[in-house]
Structure 1
């Protein structure tokens, strides 16, 4: 494989790449939420605030990728896509996840907050995913070595009028600025080539895809778009997770590539629910049913998010709820279910509790079976 990342040669491939970009941003959210939800209320508040802020910005990144996709004439969808020479790549992650798209990112696992989990967060957000050089990352046919390479390929394709003619761009089904809140940055309304590239660049600058040269810049580099109303400065995801990993904040004079050496950021890993992930095993016991209920709620949440990206909303509320507001309400319900699972002892694993699987079940036969199992259990309560 060449040292040059794969180019995206056609509009069809660009649309597929953006569908996968929405899914790529989604893939990190359950990883971070599992760590966040494992923290009991009132414990490890600094770490919880940091993880929560990153999750909200991952939602922003999903929204930005979806706005670009809508603007070039394709509705965001959870359905598998064909990309370059790869067939039936699903945008929706299943865990543990070995990304078919990004070879350097490593396995994405669902873990309660722990040193190993935080190491994984740092690896995900590092420009080279923890490798010393780009060349040290094994090149895998049909994939990119880093998230940065992937977004760079998308940007090059968006820049090319032979792939994206000017007349293609249209601000259809754009999620507006007013619907995103809770993190730093703003939604970009994509109406032309310039704003499409701005949206992609915002993803790169704020989180995944952080350019390698930014490791040599001040760790607390913050733009106006990175400040919350409270004044809290939301620097890069990598730098924020690096602080949790080191147990210290960055000093203002430090670069992102250095070890944080400022004020202490205390993390007590003993004050965490001892959840342990187990894949679906077909057991019909009450614990398995509780996990099924979570998977159903998560599947409905993903459906709501994609409906929001497609311009959906509700006509049955007063005032009508927008699609993304519906998804946010569903996310709060999901948190309650996750916390309940993490407090439920696992009878097969003494000293451990249940861990949400974040298993998306597609609409169709498998979803119908899942609904039936959950409803049968509810009828026997």
Structure 2
């Protein structure tokens, strides 16, 4: 039997197998959402209105409430609600990954290359779930979905994980990057059976298969994003294929780590694991271990961890850079909103162009030392202007 990861948080050098109990997971998800649960582990249908479940927005417990809805009640409205949560999830990963990447001084290093590819994948994933939402008659609300940092992942996914912004450190890689991307069983499993993105996407795939909604390509977008090609989703086979790509790029497959190396690129979780362990994942005597070629931890700009509420009393030069960054970030979010609301490929290209404009003020901030504290400043990724002091 192939060795596999047992703890999505720790990633030991030797990786034994395990099993996941779907029924206990669904029951705990429903319990977390304060929804009555039957003996079989699914939510009681009597709690739902006759016309079906109401729209669910991506607040802290929305994924638990979505998964507590019985499978036969998961219609098009359920799919739209789930996809808006997916938009928020994909958007929540990018700022932390960008800060880690920007902080690396040598962009040609192995760690920088791995993180840069992952950022491209996450942008592609955001495009996929946005296209899917448009295909079923919805519209992604991207700026509304943008999170503030530090904070939890949207929807209650990976409960206990706090996503924060800082330069690249072992703690950021382990506690944020790897924790976000941690796979499901049988490849890996957190000790707390924490709800993962992969489980959520698997249930979304199942709803598409069961409901078989009509799909429209009108308003969907096409673009090369990183090494992937975003294209309109025309049928259920396209839905299945695109969502499998999203899951496997992030967490890896549900069978064997070897499957994720077919294109020489490890899934995100394993790529972050290589940075954390400073070694490639390799198969040794039938066991997967981080004992391969070295992946040196890079020299980085020491961006400090952004505190809740942002930097207290920043000097004027820092405040100007923060405002410049936020103005550009707002342009990115607004262009993405327009792109899937009739703006089309031109608005999407404007968003990508604006996104590259984020790097200069971010790096400038990372070069400014914080007075009387260790580390340097960094961007805040505020989706809306902060309230003005009165």
Shared fold (TM-score greater than 0.5)? yes
Counterpart residue number, 2:373 = 350
70-79 vs 337-346, which deviates more?
70-79
1:172 aligns with 2:218: yes
- Pair 57,102 (structure 1): closer, same or farther in 2 beyond 3 Å: same
- Pair 254,248 (structure 1): closer, same or farther in 2 beyond 3 Å: farther
1:340 aligns with 2:364: yes
Structure 1 unaligned runs (5+)?
81-90, 139-144, 227-232, 314-320, 374-381
Deviations 1:236-283 (A, max 9, x none): 11121111111112236688x8332111111145x4334341333674
Counterpart residue number, 2:124 = 60
Whole-angstrom CA distance in 1 between matches of 2:108 and 2:189: 34
Counterpart residue number, 2:44 = none
Whole-angstrom CA distance in 2 between matches of 1:175 and 1:198: 17
Whole-angstrom CA distance in 1 between matches of 2:202 and 2:97: 25
Deviation at 1:219, TM superposition (A): 6.6
Whole-angstrom CA distance in 1 between matches of 2:99 and 2:311: 20
* 2:322–2:379 contact (8 Å) kept in structure 1: yes
Counterpart residue number, 1:272 = 301
Counterpart residue number, 2:113 = 49
Normalised by the length of structure 1, the TM-score is: 0.75
- The partner residue of 2:177 within 121, 127, 144 is 121
Whole-angstrom CA distance in 2 between matches of 1:253 and 1:282: 50
1:250 aligns with 2:281: yes
Deviation at 1:98, TM superposition (A): 1.1
* 1:32–1:55 contact (8 Å) kept in structure 2: yes
Counterpart residue number, 2:232 = 189
User: For 2:361, what is the secondary structure of its paired residue?
Assistant: helix
- The partner residue of 1:95 within 149, 157, 163 is 149
Whole-angstrom CA distance in 2 between matches of 1:151 and 1:240: 21
Whole-angstrom CA distance in 2 between matches of 1:285 and 1:109: 22
- Pair 308,107 (structure 1): closer, same or farther in 2 beyond 3 Å: same
* 1:63–1:309 contact (8 Å) kept in structure 2: no
User: For 1:95, what is the secondary structure of its paired residue?
Assistant: coil
User: For 2:142, what is the secondary structure of its paired residue?
Assistant: coil
User: For 2:382, what is the secondary structure of its paired residue?
Assistant: coil
* 1:219–1:250 contact (8 Å) kept in structure 2: no
Whole-angstrom CA distance in 2 between matches of 1:92 and 1:160: 30
Deviations 1:148-171 (A, max 9, x none): 11111211111123xx43xx2111
* 2:125–2:246 contact (8 Å) kept in structure 1: yes
Residue correspondence of structure 1 range 11-30 to structure 2 within 5 A = 11-30=76-95
Deviation at 1:66, TM superposition (A): 0.8
Deviation at 1:44, TM superposition (A): 6.6
Whole-angstrom CA distance in 2 between matches of 1:68 and 1:172: 11
Deviation at 1:2, TM superposition (A): 5.0
- Pair 112,79 (structure 1): closer, same or farther in 2 beyond 3 Å: closer
* 2:143–2:337 contact (8 Å) kept in structure 1: no
Matched residue pairs, number? 320
Deviation at 1:337, TM superposition (A): 1.1
Deviations 1:3-62 (A, max 9, x none): 32614623222112111111211111111101011112x367111111000000000000
Counterpart residue number, 2:15 = none
Deviation at 1:285, TM superposition (A): 4.2
Q: CA RMSD in A?
A: 3.0
* 2:152–2:162 contact (8 Å) kept in structure 1: yes
- Pair 311,53 (structure 1): closer, same or farther in 2 beyond 3 Å: farther
User: For 2:156, what is the secondary structure of its paired residue?
Assistant: coil
Whole-angstrom CA distance in 2 between matches of 1:137 and 1:22: 23
1:302 aligns with 2:333: yes
* 2:182–2:189 contact (8 Å) kept in structure 1: no
Whole-angstrom CA distance in 1 between matches of 2:293 and 2:314: 49
Deviation at 1:201, TM superposition (A): 1.7
1:240 aligns with 2:271: yes
- Pair 186,217 (structure 1): closer, same or farther in 2 beyond 3 Å: same
Whole-angstrom CA distance in 1 between matches of 2:353 and 2:188: 42
* 2:166–2:303 contact (8 Å) kept in structure 1: no
